């Protein structure tokens, strides 16, 4: 027990941009875990996309050594992904900790996502230590931020550390408070092994690496372990801690945070939230709270160049190695050819996957409009879950339709309340609550269909609030809805990749907008092309692309034929990126352009 007295396991909860990574780096530096000269870049952000956008999806956990009054402490910093898409993963990370540092930007105050994660932390019985950051900025208002934390979260803020992670001001205060206010772990190392997987990733040499918190018992190289949900057993090949690089140890004991490798082929075996126990003397029951994560947002993913299908398949397989929550099944579209219908945890997750496919695997993608999972009860009693408009049954065969609803929580300065309420109304929102937190902040709560959120809601929210509003949402179940399938016809033929499932009242407006957009992005061809938006057999909007009249290179270029051929080659490449519906050629940009329509 005395060993565990000197261990502190904690995480950092923060809104994007409030300085989580910077503070983490400072803690590493202050404890001497990493030398200052190595801290030129934010160390714990590991993906390119994270570094580039300055957002952190997942931090590497780190074990730090810290001494105070002659006592040596082991501080384990565990990350919580800073985005609503990963709520479940956040909750698992939180259960691996006894305490949470809550960073609040002294210039911004508490934001929706922070709040959601703080509530999660409170639910998980964590001790919360608020830290007010960015006090070096002229617009910092420490007193107001303290009041806001007390009002909204209900945590007294008398002695909270006020820091500037950027300048390195008062970092020592944070470490002191961590030791003082966070409880130590209280596991029993003599009991059978019970370890929580709070994350995992795939390593080419080690196989799946499980990031674990040892709750009870111990584990070392050679131990036989069992995964509770799958029942699979393995021989441990290596255990260790993160410093932040992988550092092998003899064993991990109750209270420790570290990693376990056991030549596991696939991260889908090492499910976040699962319990690892001893294969020989298993514990009586698993840790509570395990959940199978299910995707909520779906989109078709295709390659611009049709012959790259196998590359896309390989890329998805590779990403899946490290991301058990990514789901995909093959899909064939008449317009886009062979591709995959992918399921994501949310919009950010979708964006990250698409971006990684394009960037790390050098693929040019066409993605179809994101959809959600609709529940359809047919007249014959059969119940279908569909996320692909192509799977929608005939209207006559549908008895009942349901769509997923979410509770949306928006934080905004009062100036934008009107505009945002209007936005929520436009998106079929039902007003639940409006609270003035203080003179500069409001909280808006709406019930809204998820399908409205996945389509352009976040961009609209940001643009209508000049970037000030923040958003968080929670799935709250299914409700009856009057949905229709909106088809787009080009020269009389349905383009399956452009079909959408929309609410009946939205069909006209959306159909118009898409037809107008397509008119702009589809180049003129040798004949006139009617664009129609239709629900069933009823055409609800129509535009026309006039025929191309002139496309000839009426210039000589003094014998420079290469220049002419390069132009032709450019056109050929352009043509290769075109998709065909009947006799109409559609540039891949057209499919992407309709994803951004008001």
Does residue 580 interact with other proteins by CB under 8 A? no
Which residues face 219 on adjacent strands?
252
Total interface residues for other proteins by CB under 8 A: 23
* Cis peptide bond prior to 244, omega within 30° of 0: yes
The alpha carbon of 250 is separated from its chain's Cα centroid by a whole number of angstroms, namely 35
Q: Is 550 in the site for other proteins (CB under 8 A)?
A: yes
**Interface pick for other proteins out of 36, 359, 504, 565 (rule CB under 8 A):** 565
Closest distance of CB 27 from other proteins, Å: 52
Residue 192 and residue 280 in contact, taking contact as beta carbons nearer than 8 Å: no
Return the residue matching tokens 């970092």.
Answer: 171
- Considering the rule CB under 8 A, would residue 526 count as an interface residue with other proteins? yes
Residue 72 vs 551, nearer CB to other proteins:
551
Q: Does 222 bind other proteins (CB under 8 A)?
A: no
Backbone angles phi, psi at 233, to 5 degrees: -115, 150
Beta strands in 37-157 (DSSP E): 62-68, 71-79, 99-105, 127-133
| DSSP secondary structure letters along 504-542 | GGGHHHHHHHHHHHHHHHSPP-SS-EEEEEEETTEEEEE
Residue 230: how many other CB atoms lie within 10 Å: 12
Closest residue by Cα to residue 248 from 257, 259, 256: 259
Give the one residue of 123, 143, 235, 560 binding other proteins; rule: CB under 8 A: 560
Q: Of the candidates 568, 580, 589, 596, which one interacts with other proteins according to CB under 8 A?
A: 568
CB of 559 to other proteins, least distance (A): 5
Distance in Å, CB of 566 to other proteins, minimum: 10
The residue behind tokens 């952000």 is 45
Nearer to other proteins, 231 or 559 (CB): 559
By beta-carbon proximity to other proteins, the closer residue of 180 and 575 is: 575
Least Å from the CB of residue 516 to other proteins: 21
Contact window for other proteins (CB under 8 A) among 42-50, 216-224, 502-510, 565-573? 565-573
Residues 264-283 contacting other proteins, CB under 8 A: none
Q: Which stretch binds other proteins (CB under 8 A): 171-179, 336-344, 493-501, 547-555?
A: 547-555
Q: Distance between CA 135 and CA 329 in Å, rounded?
A: 49
Which one among 575, 580, 589, 598 touches other proteins, defined by CB under 8 A? 575
Task: Work out how close the CB of 527 gets to other proteins at its nearest, in angstroms, rounded to a whole number.
Answer: 8
Q: Least distance from C-beta 338 to other proteins, angstroms?
A: 21
CB of 563 to other proteins, least distance (A): 9
Q: Edge to edge, what strands does the sheet with 365-367 contain?
A: 327-333, 337-344, 297-303, 365-367
The binder of other proteins chosen from 572, 589, 596, 598 (CB under 8 A): 572
When the beta carbons of 11 and 490 are compared against other proteins, the nearer one is 490
Instruction: Verify binding: residue 544, other proteins, rule CB under 8 A.
Output: no
| Distance of alpha carbon 525 from alpha carbon 523, whole angstroms | 6
Contact between 562 and other proteins by CB under 8 A: the answer reads: yes
Query: Which of 1, 71, 167, 548 forms a contact with other proteins (CB under 8 A)?
Result: 548
Residue 69 touching other proteins (CB under 8 A):
no
571 lies in the binding site for other proteins (CB under 8 A):
yes
Mapping DSSP onto H, E and C, the string for 365-414 reads EEECCCECCEEEEECCCCEEEECCHHHCCCHHHEEEEEEEEEEEEEEECH
Least Cβ distance, residue 526 to other proteins (angstroms)? 6
Q: Which is nearer to other proteins, 37 or 555 (CB)?
A: 555
Query: Whole-angstrom Cα distance, residue 161 to residue 132?
Result: 6
Cα separation, 593 vs 525, whole angstroms: 19
For residue 238, the surrounding DSSP H or E stretch is strand 238-242
Specify the 3-state DSSP secondary structure of 571.
Answer: helix
Residue 5 in 3-state DSSP?
helix
| DSSP single-letter state for residue 33 | S
Give the position of tokens 């060993």: 3
Helix and strand totals (H; E) in the chain = 15, 32
| Closest C-alpha among 522, 534, 530 to residue 580 | 522
β-strand partners of 444: 410, 434
Residue 587 engages other proteins in binding (rule: CB under 8 A) = no
CB of 562 to other proteins, least distance (A): 5
Kindly tell me which residue out of 69, 158, 482, 551 binds other proteins, with binding defined by CB under 8 A: 551
Taking CB under 8 A as the criterion, the residue among 294, 425, 553, 589 binding other proteins is: 553
CB nearer other proteins, residue 37 or residue 550: 550
Q: How far is the CB of 558 from other proteins (least distance, A)?
A: 5
Give 288 or 561: the residue with its C-beta nearer to other proteins: 561
Q: Point out which residues bind other proteins (CB under 8 A).
A: 526, 548-562, 564-565, 568, 571-572, 575-576
């Amino acid at each position: 027990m005395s060993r565990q007295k000197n261990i502190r396991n904690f995480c950092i909860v923060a809104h994007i941009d409030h300085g989580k990574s910077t503070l983490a780096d400072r803690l590493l530096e202050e404890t001497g875990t990493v030398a200052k000269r190595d801290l030129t870049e934010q160390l714990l952000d590991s993906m390119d996309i994270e570094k580039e956008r300055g957002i952190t999806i997942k931090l590497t956990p780190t074990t730090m050594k810290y001494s105070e009054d002659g006592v040596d402490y082991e501080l384990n910093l565990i990350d919580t992904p800073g985005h609503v898409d990963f709520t479940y993963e956040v909750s698992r990370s939180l259960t691996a900790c006894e305490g949470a540092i809550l960073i609040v930007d002294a210039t911004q105050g508490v934001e929706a996502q922070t709040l959601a994660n703080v509530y999660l932390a409170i639910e998980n019985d964590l001790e919360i230590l608020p830290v007010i950051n960015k006090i070096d900025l002229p617009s910092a208002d420490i007193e107001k931020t303290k009041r806001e934390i007390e009002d909204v979260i209900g945590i007294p803020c008398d002695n909270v550390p006020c820091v500037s992670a950027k300048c390195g001001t008062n970092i020592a205060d944070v470490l002191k408070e961590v030791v003082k206010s966070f409880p130590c772990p209280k596991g029993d190392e003599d009991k059978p092994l019970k370890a929580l997987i709070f994350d995992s990733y795939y390593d080419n040499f080690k196989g799946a690496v499980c990031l674990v918190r040892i709750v009870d018992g111990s584990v070392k190289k050679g131990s036989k372990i069992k995964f509770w949900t799958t029942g699979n057993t393995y021989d441990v090949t290596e255990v260790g801690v993160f410093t932040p690089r992988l550092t092998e140890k003899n064993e991990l004991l109750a209270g420790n945070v570290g990693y376990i490798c056991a030549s596991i082929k696939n991260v889908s075996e090492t499910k976040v939230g699962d319990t690892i126990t001893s294969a020989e003397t298993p514990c009586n029951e698993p840790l509570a709270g395990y959940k199978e994560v299910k995707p909520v947002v779906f989109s078709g993913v295709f390659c611009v160049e049709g012959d790259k299908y196998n590359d896309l398949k390989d890329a998805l397989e590779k990403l899946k190695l490290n991301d058990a929550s990514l789901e995909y099944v093959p899909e064939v579209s008449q317009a886009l050819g062979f591709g995959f219908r992918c399921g994501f945890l949310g919009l950010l997750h979708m964006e990250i996957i698409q971006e990684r496919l394009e960037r790390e695997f050098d693929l040019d993608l066409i993605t179809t409009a994101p959809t959600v999972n609709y529940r359809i009860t047919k007249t014959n009693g059969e119940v279908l879950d569909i996320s692909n408009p192509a799977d929608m049954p005939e209207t006559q065969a549908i008895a009942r339709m349901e769509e997923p609803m979410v509770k949306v929580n928006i934080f905004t300065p009062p100036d934008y309340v009107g505009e945002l309420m209007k936005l929520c109304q436009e998106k079929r929102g039902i007003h639940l609550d409006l609270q003035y937190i203080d003179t500069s902040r409001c909280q808006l709560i709406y019930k809204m269909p998820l399908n409205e959120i996945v389509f352009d809601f976040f961009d609209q929210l940001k643009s209508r609030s000049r970037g000030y509003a923040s958003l968080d949402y929670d799935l709250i179940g299914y409700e009856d809805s009057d949905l229709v399938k909106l088809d787009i016809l080009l020269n009389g033929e349905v383009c399956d990749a452009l079909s959408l499932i929309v609410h009946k009242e939205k069909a006209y407006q959306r159909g118009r907008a898409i037809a107008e957009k397509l008119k702009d992005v589809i180049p003129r061809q040798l004949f006139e092309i009617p664009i129609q938006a239709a629900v069933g057999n009823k055409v609800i909007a129509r535009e026309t692309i006039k025929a191309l009249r002139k496309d000839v290179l009426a210039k000589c270029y003094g014998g420079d034929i290469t220049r002419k051929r390069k132009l032709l080659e450019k056109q050929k490449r352009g043509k290769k990126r075109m998709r065909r519906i009947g006799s109409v050629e559609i540039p891949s940009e057209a499919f992407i352009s309709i994803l951004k329509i008001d």
